[in-house]
Structure 1
């Protein structure tokens, strides 16, 4: 490949203010910090966005450096298949993987799902997140969102039974899912699960810390439990079969759409239900994840709804319905 025909890579950190704040058991934030990779060739540019996650030791600066370190490989024609072994799973690989697929789609004048041999996504219902706060504050936030069919409720430890009861009272007709973000303990697990069951919760995400979730295999689970921090890629699945009923697939964990698609297929083959999740980010992060929605029982792609502003050509939301991306955004 001559220099005139060589792909070029640029990357940058971008910041988008959150509307208000976003609070989970690990803390609050007021902006979404993303890293964007752009790969250009022949007048076309493919883009991918990722969200470095401190839970996994990632920072924006280190993620940017990891992406930029692949410039030479990209210039020499790095493919998505080669990328899977060239970088570990994580945010940096996600941005590059999605950028490469976006570029392939543009250069072939085809949609990304067609290139991957997947079903075309259609409009689907996304969860809308209720941030962690006091029971009264969560009830007030829930009342404003009670017109939405699916709410995702962030819980965080002591007082969670009161929180979920307050949310249910404020939204008697919504389907509720709960995300504890690893904040429960062996002593609170069963009482909290019972409180969620009493409130008619459909699913609880990651109640116990990853690497300390063995108890889930030893109790009777009154409602379905979903792995989030405990599942990253296909190598994670086998150990989870006795502990979880569902898995939350996020592209920043899998390291891109390539592994995410393979993970979804493998998880379904093992009997797991699929949840498609996201970090708080723009529509450029959500767009590739839309390819997984035809397989998903739960879709949680509300990141742009939590921002004060989205990027141009963002996903179209009609209430809680989210529509597939236009080619002008991605894929």
Structure 2
């Protein structure tokens, strides 16, 4: 069956400005890929990705990769060659996930059944607090004080003071801190003893990915999670001893196929698993949601962060995330 590839950009306005240590944004700019059959039987699979400047990607650079790679994919079986055609990243993610969706429609089976895995039930997803002033973050936290798990974006400023204020607003919540590479080893050593008293369960990427060797000397009472340092299963051994957890994102692994391989390797290595996302719609969340049964933490609140999600997207009841019967991706 011959295949045709079409890609286009979309922009989702965010419900509110989203801030992390390296910048802020008001819109999510995404790239969508559609894979369609050529001939009498018309089938279309699709996927969504967020090219990320942190990994030297732009929408333009990913489009160039798609233009080149799509010329070497003439049939569904060519999905197995994606790792030879493309490095891990958004382009490979788009092709891999769109081909999985296409396969589900072609075989009239869900992707989860094709993988031979258990369908996730409603899962607890962290809700995100953007980095801001102490007062603003505490005020935002009060609105989420009934939720059991919050992810807090922080930079290197007022770390403990902000967490004390947030903890006071949400005394019964657990916290994941995401530093987005903004700390150094001195800061980490200084704040760790105090953060242990504030329900912090995980600290995500405290040090820059290319300067995290110092973590080998840290005996952290809080699990440290690799995000920017973690991409594929092949490089996982480099993280052992530095981190106790990894954050799996499709735009880093290059799609669902590698994400599953990475999750299995992490399980074998006795590492905790967090499922993460870029800010995007439910279409970007749907493939990685299938790995929820393997995860210790789920952080897939992208659809909550956009002002208007796609039709047939995920259902969020407070912090509980579940898929509707006719989810927009992967249901065959």
> CA separation in 2, counterparts of 1:280 and 1:29?
10
Is the 2:173–2:199 Cα contact (8 Å) retained in structure 1?
A: no
Residue 70 of structure 2 is aligned to residue 71 of structure 1: yes
Please list the CA deviations of residues 104-125 of structure 1 after superposition, one character each: whole Å capped at 9, or x if unmatched: 0011010101111222111101
> CA separation in 2, counterparts of 1:201 and 1:327?
36
Comparing 131-140 with 61-70, greater Cα deviation is found at 61-70
What does residue 89 of structure 1 align with?
88
Which of the residues 4, 11, 21 maps onto 2:17?
Answer: 21
1:25-36 maps to which residues of 2 (within 5 A)? 25-36=21-32
> CA separation in 2, counterparts of 1:12 and 1:321?
31
What does residue 128 of structure 1 align with?
127
CA RMSD of aligned residues (A): 1.2
Residue 229 of structure 2 is aligned to residue 256 of structure 1: no
> CA separation in 1, counterparts of 2:115 and 2:213?
36
- Taking a change above 3 Å as real, the CA distance of residues 169 and 129 of structure 1, as seen in their structure-2 partners, is same
| Residue 74 (structure 1) shift | 2.9
What does residue 320 of structure 2 align with?
321
Q: Secondary structure at the match of 1:225?
A: strand
List 4+ stretches of structure 1 deviating above 6 A: none
What does residue 289 of structure 2 align with?
290
Q: Secondary structure at the match of 1:311?
A: coil
Q: Secondary structure at the match of 2:160?
A: helix
> CA separation in 2, counterparts of 1:242 and 1:70?
36
Please list the CA deviations of residues 214-237 of structure 1 after superposition, one character each: whole Å capped at 9, or x if unmatched: 111102202111110010001221
When the two structures are superposed, what TM-score results if normalisation uses the length of structure 1?
0.96
Is the 1:273–1:297 Cα contact (8 Å) retained in structure 2?
A: yes
> CA separation in 2, counterparts of 1:275 and 1:100?
24
Is the 2:134–2:161 Cα contact (8 Å) retained in structure 1?
A: yes
Q: Secondary structure at the match of 1:73?
A: coil
Is the 1:225–1:246 Cα contact (8 Å) retained in structure 2?
A: yes
Comparing 125-134 with 42-51, greater Cα deviation is found at 42-51
- Taking a change above 3 Å as real, the CA distance of residues 76 and 101 of structure 1, as seen in their structure-2 partners, is closer
Please list the CA deviations of residues 283-315 of structure 1 after superposition, one character each: whole Å capped at 9, or x if unmatched: 000000111100100000000101111111111
| Residue 24 (structure 1) shift | 0.4
> CA separation in 2, counterparts of 1:206 and 1:13?
29
Please list the CA deviations of residues 149-199 of structure 1 after superposition, one character each: whole Å capped at 9, or x if unmatched: 110001100211111111111101111111010110122111122232121
> CA separation in 1, counterparts of 2:158 and 2:97?
40
Please list the CA deviations of residues 216-273 of structure 1 after superposition, one character each: whole Å capped at 9, or x if unmatched: 1102202111110010001221011101000000000000000000000001101101
Comparing 276-285 with 79-88, greater Cα deviation is found at 79-88
1:134-149 maps to which residues of 2 (within 5 A)? 134-149=133-148
Residue 61 of structure 2 is aligned to residue 62 of structure 1: yes
Which of the residues 9, 12, 19 maps onto 2:8?
Answer: 12
- Taking a change above 3 Å as real, the CA distance of residues 321 and 95 of structure 1, as seen in their structure-2 partners, is same
What does residue 183 of structure 1 align with?
182
1:158-169 maps to which residues of 2 (within 5 A)? 158-169=157-168
Q: Which runs of 5+ in 1 are unaligned?
A: none
> CA separation in 1, counterparts of 2:268 and 2:323?
25
The count of residues paired between Structure 1 and Structure 2 equals 327
> CA separation in 2, counterparts of 1:99 and 1:122?
23
